[in-house]
C-alpha cells in the first residue's frame, strides 16, 4: 500500500520515497504526492529522480491493494526497485486541478438538492452534470460562484465513521460515483466555518485551502443533456 501524502497536505509538491515495484507500465512507491486519477480528477504528472537517473511521469492511476501507479512517459527508463527517489509533481497543473475541483464543490453549493450525474475536472476547463428542475442563467451561476469564491471560506477535511451515510444519505450529491465503503471511515470535505457548511460531502480529491484561492471563474456554457439534466462548463478566468 502507498502512503497518500496529498490526503493530509494537498500543497506538497515533492517528497522522497522508496521504489517498491518498477517497470515500463508503472512504478509503485512507498509514499507519494501524486494524485491517482479518480472522482473526475486527472492523475498527476511530473518526474521521479534518483541517484543515476530520472523518469518523466505521464499519468498516475490507482493500482491494486491501495497502491498508486506512476505511469512513466513512453520510452522512459524506470528506476530500480529499492532506489530512493525524489518525486516531484507538475505543480501548476495540479494547482489548476485543485482550484477547479473546489469550484465544482461551490457549484454544488450554489445548486442545493440537485443530484450530480457526472463530472470531469481539467486544468483548462471542467464540467458538472446536474439534474436541475429550475435552470439558472449562465450569468446567475457565474456571479454566484464568484461570490462564494471571493468569500474566502476555509476548505477543510475530516474523517468520520462511514455509518454517517446511513443516517444522512443526503450528504452524497453524486449519483454516478458512490463513496467507497468497507473501510469503516469516510473522508468529508467541508467548505465554510459556520454552523451550516456551504458544502459538505464525501470526497477523496485535492482542494485549495480557502475558496479565495479558486480565483475568478467563468461559466462557459450550459448544455441540455436530457429532460432535466444540464452540463455546466466552467473555466478559470485568470
Ligand atoms: Zn472534492
Strand 229-236 to strand 217-224: parallel, antiparallel, or no bridges (unpaired)? antiparallel
* Statement: the pTM of the whole predicted model exceeds 0.85: yes
Write down all domains in the chain, each with its CATH number in brackets: 13-89 (2.40.30.130), 94-236 (3.30.980.10)
Q: Kindly tell me the burial class for residue 23, based on how many C-beta atoms sit within 10 Å of its own C-beta (0-12, 13-18, 19 or more).
A: exposed
SS3 17: strand
104 CA → ligand 1 middle, Å: 8
For residue 191, report the distance from its CA to the centre of ligand 1, in Å. Answer: 10
The DSSP secondary-structure symbol of 170 reads G
Residue 164, class by beta-carbon neighbours within 10 Å (0-12 exposed, 13-18 middle, 19+ buried)?
Answer: middle
3-state secondary structure at position 146:
helix
Cell matching residue 17: 520515497
Q: 51 C-alpha to center of ligand 1: Å?
A: 36
For residue 65, what pLDDT band results from cuts at 50, 70 and 90? confident
pLDDT-based confidence at residue 66 (cuts at 50, 70, 90): confident
> Of 54, 66, 63, which is closest to residue 25 (Cα–Cα)?
63
Output the CA 52–ligand 1 centroid distance in Å: 38
Q: Are 27 and 79 in contact (CB under 8 A)?
A: yes
Task: Give 195's pLDDT tier (boundaries 50, 70, 90).
Answer: confident
For ligand 1, the distance from its centroid to the CA atom of residue 83, given in whole angstroms, is 33
pLDDT at 165: 87
Alpha-carbon separation of residue 190 from 31, 33, 137 (angstroms) = 25, 22, 26
Distance in Å, CA 87 to ligand 1 centroid: 23
53 CA from centroid of ligand 1 (Å): 35
| Gap between the Cα atoms of 55 and 154, Å rounded | 36
pLDDT digits (tens, 9 = 90+) for 150-188: 999 999 999 999 998 888 888 888 876 677 777 889 999
Amino acid at each position: 500500500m502507498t502512503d497518500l501524502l496529498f490526503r493530509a497536505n494537498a500543497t506538497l509538491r515533492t517528497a522522497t520515497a522508496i521504489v517498491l515495484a518498477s517497470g515500463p507500465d508503472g512504478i509503485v512507491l512507498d509514499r507519494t504526492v501524486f494524485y491517482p486519477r479518480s472522482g473526475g480528477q486527472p492523475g498527476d504528472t511530473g518526474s521521479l529522480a534518483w541517484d543515476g537517473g530520472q523518469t518523466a511521469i505521464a499519468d498516475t492511476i490507482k493500482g491494486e491493494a491501495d497502491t498508486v501507479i506512476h505511469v512513466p512517459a513512453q520510452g522512459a527508463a524506470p528506476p530500480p526497485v529499492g532506489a530512493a527517489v525524489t518525486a516531484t509533481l507538475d505543480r501548476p497543473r495540479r494547482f489548476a486541478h485543485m482550484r477547479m475541483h473546489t469550484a465544482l464543490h461551490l457549484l454544488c453549493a450554489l445548486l442545493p438538492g440537485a443530484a450530480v450525474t457526472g463530472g470531469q475536472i481539467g486544468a483548462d476547463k471542467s464540467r458538472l452534470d446536474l439534474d436541475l428542475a429550475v435552470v439558472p442563467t449562465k450569468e446567475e451561476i457565474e456571479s454566484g460562484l464568484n461570490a462564494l469564491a471571493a468569500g474566502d471560506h476555509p476548505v477543510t477535511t475530516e474523517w468520520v465513521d462511514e455509518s454517517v451515510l446511513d443516517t444522512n444519505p443526503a450528504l452524497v450529491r453524486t449519483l454516478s460515483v458512490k463513496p467507497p465503503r468497507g473501510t469503516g471511515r469516510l473522508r468529508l470535505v467541508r467548505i465554510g466555518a459556520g454552523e451550516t457548511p456551504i458544502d459538505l460531502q464525501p470526497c477523496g480529491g485535492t482542494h485549495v485551502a480557502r475558496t479565495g484561492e479558486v480565483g475568478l471563474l467563468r461559466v462557459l456554457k450550459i448544455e441540455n443533456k436530457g429532460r432535466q439534466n444540464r452540463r455546466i462548463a466552467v473555466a478559470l478566468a485568470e
